[in-house]
Amino acid sequence: MQAPTPPLPSPVPLGARPWPHADLALRGVRVLDAGGGFTEPLDVTVAGARIAAVARNAPAPEGALEVDAAGLWLMPGIVDCHTHTGMSSTDTLANLRTPLSLRTLQTARNLHATLASGVTTTRDAGGVDAGVREAIERSVIAGPRLQVSIVLLSQTGGHSDGFLPGPGLERSVEEFVPDSPGRPPYLVDGPEEMRRAVRQLLRPGPDWIKVCTSGGVFGGLEAANRPELSIEEVAVAVTEAGRAGRGVMAHAVGSGGIEIALAAGVRSIEHGIHLDEEQARRMASAGTTLVPTLAIYEDVARAVAANPAAFPPVVAEAAEDLRGRLGGAVRLARDLGVPIALGTDFATAADQGRAGEELAALRRAGLPPEQALLAATVNGARLLGVADRVGRIAPGLAFDALLLDGDPGDLAGFAEGTAITGVFHDGAAVVEHPRIAATARRITA
């Protein structure tokens, strides 16, 4: 039985900005710094949507709300570089029975839940189109800053080809992006097909092109390690995307798939479970980012361990391999200087809002808390090309920020869902911290 959809934290009015801006002065708050630690108490002032100052005794504009933030901690909003907000269920039959209009409205709900949980910027790794991004930009729906890849490009018979031979259905693409006018292709074979597919995919306005250079864990260990697409095919995708100012992200679990993606020049490796030392050195040299998506794989391993009979033997074998490897790529990347960014790969309504668990998983994998916090903020902003706007608490940047009631320490509170007690997006309070209502006063001349 599918888990019940969790309730929204607050209603979302349509056709108007969900939360009002307010000039703000947070007095005496500790702020995440460039090294991933926290400062001594400072004042953070906000004018409209942007940070005005981060300093002791910072002046605030007349009429601003002044808040006693002593004992609170402030960090940038989380940047989730890999999620699937257009998916609300992994039940194939349920997805195929769900009307397109309902799926679109469920996507709006998922985006709201994601934002309310503290994710203020996200990259959707397949499942929503540019229209959803535009709906957020126009304040039709509430959600984080959104970048989209629309569909996953795969070879015939590859990771994104969920063909069902009985009824002859193209399951995978129908689940992620139901048939609609202008839906781009998703199966490609050969460099010239890739060129045409990427050009067609660029027409509806994605921010990223996503390719699959290996199979996935649910296909079994052999499939996860099987290289897919050729270097030449992926190189064409990188060239065509680059000409349009877009980057390429690669689903790559096995070493062979990672090798293809690296040789072709992609910007980020998604998952990267079988990353080896030589590949990590090349990633560090090229500045290629690893997006490890640990929490979802931990979920898979736990589910199989709890009830192995419920899964095909090949999936159980792959989950057993995961238990021995999970986190190894993160430690290798840490030691060799590979940029690491947070990504969740969540694809159900019940999972949206769990990005804090990925932050804690990075810590368990061996990242010091400081590095894990940077992976969840500025590193993701750099990968997505928006570090000049978000990812830090600094003057001139958008006030996308999270309030914490104390030192996050070993980050366990993020896994428990208790760490984040206030959320701001573009200067507006999405989740208002109780201290604001209790202590805020207007600054008057």
Question: What domain range includes position 254?
Answer: 78-383
* The two structure tokens encoding residue 274: 């079988």
If asked whether residues 131 and 219 sit together in one domain, one would say yes
Q: What is the CATH number of the domain that holds 434?
A: 2.30.40.10
With CA atoms as reference, report the closest residue to 384 among 73, 119, 54.
119
Sequence letter at residue 299: D
Total domains present in the chain: 2
* CB of 211 closer than 8 Å to CB of 261: yes
Angle among Cα 152, 253, 163 to the nearest 5 degrees reads 45
* The two structure tokens encoding residue 420: 């984040």
Alpha carbons 88 and 245: distance in angstroms, whole number: 31
If asked whether residues 263 and 160 sit together in one domain, one would say yes
**Residue at 2 is within a domain:** no
If asked whether residues 84 and 194 sit together in one domain, one would say yes
**Residue at 70 is within a domain:** yes
Mean pLDDT in the chain? 89
If asked whether residues 61 and 85 sit together in one domain, one would say no
**Residue at 4 is within a domain:** no
**Residue at 8 is within a domain:** no
Q: What is the CATH number of the domain that holds 248?
A: 3.20.20.140
pTM summary value: 0.92
Report pLDDT for 94. 84
User: Dihedrals φ, ψ of 24, to 5°?
Assistant: -145, 145
If asked whether residues 96 and 55 sit together in one domain, one would say no
Alpha carbons 74 and 193: distance in angstroms, whole number: 48
If asked whether residues 345 and 429 sit together in one domain, one would say no
* CB of 95 closer than 8 Å to CB of 164: no
Alpha carbons 52 and 42: distance in angstroms, whole number: 13
How far does Cα 42 stand from its chain's mean position? 30
If asked whether residues 68 and 102 sit together in one domain, one would say no
Domain final residue, candidates 365, 383, 401: 383
* CB of 408 closer than 8 Å to CB of 434: no
Report pLDDT for 13. 41
Report pLDDT for 316. 83
**Residue at 19 is within a domain:** no
Report pLDDT for 17. 39
If asked whether residues 166 and 229 sit together in one domain, one would say yes
Show Cβ contacts of residue 79 under 8 Å, excluding neighbours closer than 6 positions. 119, 120, 121, 122, 341, 342, 376, 377, 379, 380, 381, 384, 390, 391
Q: How many residues does the chain have?
A: 445
If asked whether residues 170 and 130 sit together in one domain, one would say yes
Report pLDDT for 165. 67
Domain final residue, candidates 383, 408, 433: 383
Show Cβ contacts of residue 181 under 8 Å, excluding neighbours closer than 6 positions. none
Which pairing describes strands 208-212 and 247-252: parallel, antiparallel, or unpaired?
parallel
**Residue at 52 is within a domain:** yes
**Residue at 377 is within a domain:** yes
If asked whether residues 223 and 148 sit together in one domain, one would say yes
If asked whether residues 303 and 377 sit together in one domain, one would say yes
Report pLDDT for 74. 98
* CB of 76 closer than 8 Å to CB of 384: no
Domain final residue, candidates 383, 407, 424: 383
Q: Spell out, as residue ranges, where the chain has pLDDT lower than 50.
A: 1-19
Q: What is the maximal distance between C-alpha atoms in the chain?
A: 75
* The two structure tokens encoding residue 427: 């200067």
Report pLDDT for 280. 98
With CA atoms as reference, report the closest residue to 70 among 329, 433, 444, 445.
433
**Residue at 274 is within a domain:** yes
User: Dihedrals φ, ψ of 423, to 5°?
Assistant: -135, 130
If asked whether residues 41 and 130 sit together in one domain, one would say no
